[in-house]
Structures are given as structure tokens and as C-alpha cells.
Amino acid sequence: TSWYAGTADAIYQNLDIIRTHDPAHVLILAGDHIYKMDYGPMLAAHAENEADLTVGCIEVELERARAFGVMGVGADHRVRSFTEKPDQPAPMPDKPDKALASMGIYIFNTAFLYEQLIKDADSPQSTHDFGHDIIPSLISHYRVFAYPFVDVQSGEQEYWRDVGTVDAFWEANLELIGVTPDLNLYDDDWPIWTYQEQAPPAKFVFDDEDRRGMAVDSMVSGGCIISGARVRHSLLFSNVHVESYTAIEDSVVLPQTQIGQHCRIRKAVVDKGCEIPHHTVIGYDAEADAERFHVSPGGVVLVTPEMLGQERHRVR
């Protein structure tokens, strides 16, 4: 095998695993999306429609639709058109400011999936991508249906975020610290089960006027030590240590990060394992930030160990 050439090729190269389980249907999900979804109703709709393929879909603002596969559907939700990341997205007939976008969630009949993936793999012109190649080629000849991701009872659009860009990742994380976020991590009725490192509780030390360990309007994970520093409207992952006289604002700080004294960090995503030197300033001068780090179109500063000259991932 070789490195995956596209989303379809990623499944194609693992068909042996699917064949081992011999399922009737295959559910394919994207790895850079955040949402809560019961896939049972979608599978039921797939069976009821006698579909070959069902595509999960959501409504998005027209200006954002350029980043998605955009669908046109009939009254029966059968897909009539599909364009991957169009320059001019087609609006929904009854909602001219919105487009119907693919969530990257697919249900295939298994035999049909095998057939289409092998056909695609044998095509030298294909980019081996579901959105660019496979789905557009199926619409005219097979039963392809859209499944709207809405609340079954209210009909309202469910929470869904694509975090495939720095701006989207930053925004989705900071949404979590809101008073009533759309995605509630404290929901006992639908908890999120995942591996979580066992770490001691977060600790805030020093209470002097100019050296007070505190966090406001923020989420601070276990193992963090805020030592005489101020954290505002930010999310700190586990085992982040922030030293005295430092101020962090509107930022997402990933695990095992050390931030030195007298730093000022604003509107940033700090990658796992960074060691931020004393007196570092991030997020206050766009030109200076661009010389050292990556600045997103939305002005979010991405900081990685490699950008700081720190070696964490070595190939040779």
C-alpha cells in the first residue's frame, strides 16, 4: 500500500478489513468533524429509500458553502446534483442565503461500495475522492439520497462543526466555554466517552495584586498549574503550566505546554508540547507573528514546537 491519495482511496486500501466483518452496510465518517449523532435513523432512512448511498447533509451559509460538497435534492430528498467545493455554490430553492452541504457522512450498501471503489481505483483520471469523483458519478445511475441532520422532534439544525482549518478549530474550542454552548460537555444524558489521562486537579497559586493565579470565563483541564498568571476566555488542555506575570486571552493551549514568565498571548492556538520562552508576545503584532508562526485568514496565530525551534518529531 501507499499513502492515501484521497478519501475514497483511504477506504479502498482497507477493504480487506471490511471484508473480514462482512457487513450489510458501511458507515463512513470524517475525522475532523465535531457533532453528536444517532446513526440509527439515518440507516433506517437508507433502508426505507432502498438507497445505494445516503449522504448526511446540513444547511450552511452560502458564503461558507465553498468549503463543502454542495447538493441539489428533490422533494423526496433524492440527490439530483453534487458539486465538490464550488466557486459559486447553488442556493437552496426556498432559502436563497443557504446551501445544502455534505457532512462527509456516508452509508453505502457494502457490495455497492466494493464495486464503486474498485472501479474508481482502476481509473487513472480519478483523484480517488468521494466528493470529487465517486458521488458525482453515481447520481444519474443509482439511488443516492440526502439525509438532513436535524433534531427529530423540533426539526432544528443539529450541532455540527468542521474543524479542518485553524480558524474553525479555534472557534469550535472557544464555543465550549460559553455559558450555554450548543455542544454541552456537561450533558449527563449524552456523555462523551473518551480516553482521559489521570491527572491531578488544576491548581491556581499566588494571590498578590500583580501576581494572581486566576482563570475567568475559561475551561482549565486537570494537571494545569496557573502560577501567578491570568487566563481569560481561553481553553487549556491537560498539564499546561503557566508561569507568573503571564496573560493568556482568547486562546487554545494544547497539552503538555510550558509558558514562561511575562508572556502575553492572545487569539492563538498553541500546539502540544510547546515551551514558550519568557517575555514572548503572540497575537499583538500580525507582521511579527507572521515572521515566526502561521497566521490564519481569521487572524488566529498557530504556534508549534518546530516554529519555536524545538524538536519533538524527528524523522532522521
pLDDT of 90-99, one tens digit each?
999 888 999 9
Per residue in 60-91, pLDDT tens?
999 889 989 999 999 899 999 999 999 999 99
CB 275 within 8 A of CB 254: no
CB 253 within 8 A of CB 237: yes
What per-residue confidence (pLDDT) applies to 117?
97
Instruction: Evaluate if residue 26 carries a pLDDT over 70.
Output: yes
Higher pLDDT among residues 242 and 157, named by residue:
242
C-alpha 215/C-alpha 212 separation (Å) is 10
What per-residue confidence (pLDDT) applies to 105?
95
Q: What is the DSSP letter of 97?
A: T
Cell readout for 12 is 479502498
Give kind and range of the element (H or E) at residue 166.
helix 166-175
Write down how long the chain is.
316
Instruction: Evaluate if residue 313 carries a pLDDT over 80.
Output: no
- The CATH number of the domain covering residues in 203-308: 2.160.10.10
Beta-bridged to residue 225, according to DSSP, are 203, 241
The Cα-based distances of 28 to 12, 98, 104, 110, 128 in angstroms read 12, 25, 8, 11, 15
Q: Which residues, including other chains, have CB under 8 Å from residue 107's CB and lie 6 or more apart?
A: 25, 26, 27, 28, 39, 42, 43, 46, 51, 53, 54, 147
- Place 196 in a pLDDT band, splitting at 50, 70 and 90: confident
Considering the domain delimited by 7-162, tell me its CATH architecture.
Alpha-Beta Complex (3.90)
Q: What percent of the chain has pLDDT over 70?
A: 98
The Cα-based distances of 246 to 171, 252, 294 in angstroms read 23, 15, 22
- Single out the residue of 243, 199, 249, 245 nearest to residue 225, CA to CA: 243
Report, as an integer, the average pLDDT of 149-174.
Answer: 89
What per-residue confidence (pLDDT) applies to 192?
85
C-alpha 258/C-alpha 260 separation (Å) is 7
* Model confidence, pTM: 0.85
| Residue with cell string 492515501 | 4
State which amino acid sits at residue 222.
Answer: G
CB 260 within 8 A of CB 228: no
Per residue in 231-282, pLDDT tens?
999 999 999 999 999 999 999 999 999 999 999 999 999 999 999 999 999 9
Q: Which residues, including other chains, have CB under 8 Å from residue 132's CB and lie 6 or more apart?
A: 6, 84
The Cα-based distances of 78 to 56, 71, 115, 148, 307 in angstroms read 12, 10, 21, 11, 48
- Biggest CA-to-CA distance, the chain: 72
- Single out the residue of 71, 61, 58 nearest to residue 156, CA to CA: 58
Instruction: Evaluate if residue 2 carries a pLDDT over 80.
Output: no
Q: What is the chain's percent helix, strand, coil content, to nearest 5?
A: 20, 30, 50
Name the pairing type of β-strands 235-236 and 98-109. unpaired
C-alpha 116/C-alpha 247 separation (Å) is 54
Report, as an integer, the average pLDDT of 214-226.
Answer: 97
Instruction: Evaluate if residue 155 carries a pLDDT over 90.
Output: no
- Place 137 in a pLDDT band, splitting at 50, 70 and 90: very high
Cell readout for 138 is 453515481
What per-residue confidence (pLDDT) applies to 299?
97
Domain ranges of the chain: 7-162, 203-308
Domains 7-162 and 203-308 share a fold: no
The Cα-based distances of 284 to 40, 222, 235, 288 in angstroms read 48, 29, 19, 9
